[in-house]
């Protein structure tokens, strides 16, 4: 029977009750890298010492072993696989989920080597280079017979989809901040049973999975062929630099609280997440009409426009409204706040969202939840790396916000009433904005109904309260056809 094994090697991962021991020593890049040009570039960028995930991954990736790298967002995973792959001088493929992540990874790699190409969107540069970065949709265009390694960034997301790989690879590197090694390896082997192959001593394909055997430190996927494939798992629990809070607020007051929150934090660099494109479009146009300085990015925009918006946000800062398109891989510097205005339906997405804050410095994550969605809190606290503050009405500044939220709970509050009435009138009297509100509400209800899962109690939600979140007093007539 063939065996695909995930091992925790003592010198690479020391596990105590599921948490990795934190290193106390500092290791410089020149311990592993002898290329003076690469060292000079690292020093120019202020990277003098390797991060934990980088020095633990380097040797195994460089020497051609199969490796699974799981580490916090912002922990240095990209260089953890890029540098050893570049230094190995082997030919391979790096697959990423989005155009933006492909161009970002390409730009990073270009600083260290000229042997790099990209195939993403309309970008098609040097596809015969030793290392080519491509998006999932471009895989089918790639000639892979001469490629030795396959690195899959955001592996948990990519392997959920159909992967068009027809190569026969000697090495796989799987990377993500959220990754279940057992399920990921199972999915990879299933992909290999179709067109993609893992090159073993006899160069046989993995035909099919027979059984799964798992224990504390190893996971075995038994297949038809009599081969053994070993994956080294590098799992790093880094320092928690994102402080997390939640605001418990019902939908009838949610829009007002959100606007007050933005007003009190105008000087902050912020990312606000929504679950649908229509929500992003509506809130962007509403906030622009209220003279807030906001920008928005989502999948409907063409790649050139999305690139312009990302560059503007990186340079100018401000408030970025987006969908989960931006939740993975993007390295925005010095984001102060991540706001989950519409809560994620999965813990994995939540982790990736909050990871946009705190890159290069500490940041905060603010989660908006109603009572019907409060089940999500208990799930988050079970993630040991999350230090969750279980206190109602806590926001990042902890100054005037508490007073505002308490006031909202009182119907006699004149300011909240005035602002809410102003928004209702604005949406009602603007035909275009009203249509955007209806479309956003329609999309919200659709995605909520299909993704409630075990965390949210959809039956206790009040449709009229939800409608007010989109700037309308009463539930409009909606055609769901």
Residue 362 and residue 260 share a domain? yes
- Per-residue pLDDT, averaged over 407-430, amounts to 70
pLDDT tens-digit map of 209-237? 333 334 333 344 444 455 566 778 887 76
77: β partners: none
Nearest to 177 by CA among 347, 305, 319: 347
Taking the C-alpha atoms of residue 73 and residue 19, their distance in angstroms, rounded to an integer, is 16
- State the total domains in the chain: 2
- Per-residue pLDDT, averaged over 153-163, amounts to 77
Contact (CB, 8 A) for 261 and 398: no
Alpha carbons within 13 angstroms on the beta-carbon side of residue 432 total: 6
25 band by pLDDT with thresholds 50, 70 and 90: low
- Could you identify the residue written with the tokens 């705190």? 358
Give me the pLDDT at residue 39, please. Answer: 93
Residue 266 and residue 231 share a domain? no
Residue 131 and residue 261 share a domain? no
177 band by pLDDT with thresholds 50, 70 and 90: confident
Residue 108 and residue 167 share a domain? yes
264 belongs to a structural domain: yes
Taking the C-alpha atoms of residue 441 and residue 170, their distance in angstroms, rounded to an integer, is 49
- Could you identify the residue written with the tokens 């730009």? 107
Residue 275 and residue 159 share a domain? no
207 belongs to a structural domain: yes
Range of the domain at 166: 2-236
> Which residues lie closer than 8 Å to 403 by C-beta, 6 or more apart?
none
> Which residues lie closer than 8 Å to 99 by C-beta, 6 or more apart?
120, 121, 123, 135, 303, 306
Share of the chain above pLDDT 70, in %: 71
Residue 427 and residue 286 share a domain? yes
Residue 261 and residue 227 share a domain? no
Among 205, 236, 267, the domain-final residue is 236
Taking the C-alpha atoms of residue 148 and residue 171, their distance in angstroms, rounded to an integer, is 7
Among 236, 265, 287, the domain-final residue is 236
Task: For the sheet with 149-153, list strands across it.
Answer: 123-125, 116-120, 131-135, 92-96, 149-153, 171-176, 66-71, 228-236, 2-7, 218-223, 209-214
Pairing of strands 319-322, 270-273: parallel
Residue 308 and residue 202 share a domain? no
Residue 204 and residue 266 share a domain? no
Residue 173 and residue 308 share a domain? no
- Per-residue pLDDT, averaged over 419-434, amounts to 91
344 belongs to a structural domain: yes
Residue 247 and residue 326 share a domain? yes
Q: Looking at the whole model, is its pTM more than 0.85?
A: no
Q: CATH number of the domain at 253, please.
A: 3.40.50.300
474 belongs to a structural domain: no
User: 74: which 2 tokens?
Assistant: 């912002």
Alpha carbons within 13 angstroms on the beta-carbon side of residue 208 total: 1
3-state secondary structure 130-181: CEEEEEHHHHHHCCCCCCCEEEEECHHHHCCCCCCCCCEECEEEEEECCCCH
pLDDT higher than 60, residue 26: yes
Taking the C-alpha atoms of residue 359 and residue 343, their distance in angstroms, rounded to an integer, is 21
269 belongs to a structural domain: yes
Give me the pLDDT at residue 12, please. Answer: 32
CA distances from 361 to 22, 75, 253, 332, 333 (A): 19, 12, 32, 11, 9
477 belongs to a structural domain: no
Of the listed ranges 59-63, 135-139, 310-314, 403-407, the least confidently predicted one is 403-407
Among 236, 255, 284, the domain-final residue is 236
460 belongs to a structural domain: yes
361 band by pLDDT with thresholds 50, 70 and 90: low
Residue 386 and residue 265 share a domain? yes
Taking the C-alpha atoms of residue 340 and residue 354, their distance in angstroms, rounded to an integer, is 8
217 belongs to a structural domain: yes
């Amino acid at each position: 029977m063939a065996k695909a094994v995930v091992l925790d090697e003592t010198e690479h991962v020391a596990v105590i009750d599921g948490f990795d021991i934190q290193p106390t020593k500092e290791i410089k890049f020149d311990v592993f890298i002898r290329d003076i040009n690469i060292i000079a570039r690292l020093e120019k960028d202020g990277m003098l010492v390797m991060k934990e995930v980088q020095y633990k991954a380097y040797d195994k990736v460089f020497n051609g072993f199969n490796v699974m790298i799981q580490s916090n967002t912002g922990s240095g995973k990209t260089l953890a696989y890029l540098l050893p792959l570049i230094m190995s001088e082997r030919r391979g493929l790096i697959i990423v989920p989005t155009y933006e992540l492909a161009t970002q990874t390409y730009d990073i790699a270009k600083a260290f080597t000229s042997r790099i190409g990209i195939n993403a969107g309309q970008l098609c540069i040097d596809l015969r280079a030793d290392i080519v970065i491509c998006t999932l949709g471009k895989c089918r265009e790639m000639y892979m017979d001469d490629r030795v390694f396959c690195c899959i960034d955001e592996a948990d997301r990519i392997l959920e989809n159909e992967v068009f790989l027809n190569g026969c690879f000697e090495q796989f590197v799987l990377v993500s901040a959220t990754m279940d090694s057992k399920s990921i390896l199972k999915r990879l082997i299933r992909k290999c049973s179709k067109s993609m192959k893992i090159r073993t001593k006899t160069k046989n394909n993995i035909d099919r999975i027979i059984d799964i055997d798992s224990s504390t430190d190893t996971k075995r996927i038994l297949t038809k062929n009599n081969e053994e494939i070993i994956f080294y798992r590098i799992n790093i629990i880094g320092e928690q630099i994102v402080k997390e809070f939640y605001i418990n607020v019902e939908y009838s007051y949610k829009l007002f609280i959100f606007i007050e929150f933005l007003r009190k934090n105008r000087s902050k660099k912020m990312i606000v997440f929504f679950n649908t494109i229509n929500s992003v479009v509506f809130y962007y146009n509403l906030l622009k009409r209220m003279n807030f300085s906001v920008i928005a990015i989502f999948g409907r925009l063409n790649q050139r426009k999305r690139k312009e918006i990302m560059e503007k946000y990186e340079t100018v800062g401000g408030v970025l409204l987006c969908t989960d398109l931006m939740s993975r891989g993007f390295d925005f510097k010095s984001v102060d706040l991540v706001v989950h205005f519409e809560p994620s339906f999965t813990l994995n997405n939540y982790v990736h969202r909050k990871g946009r804050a705190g890159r290069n410095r500490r940041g905060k994550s603010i989660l908006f939840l109603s009572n019907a969605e409060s089940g999500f809190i208990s799930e988050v606290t079970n993630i040991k790396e999350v230090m969750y503050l279980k206190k109602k009405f806590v926001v990042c500044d902890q100054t005037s916000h508490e007073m505002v939220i308490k006031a909202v709970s009182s119907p006699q509050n004149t300011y909240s009433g005035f602002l809410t009435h102003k928004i209702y009138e604005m949406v009602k009297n603007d035909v275009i904005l009203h249509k955007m509100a209806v479309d956003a509400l329609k999309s919200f209800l659709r995605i909520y109904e299909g993704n409630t899962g075990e965390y949210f109690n959809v039956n206790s939600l009040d449709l009229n309260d939800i409608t007010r979140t989109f700037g309308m007093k009463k539930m409009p007539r909606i055609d769901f056809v």
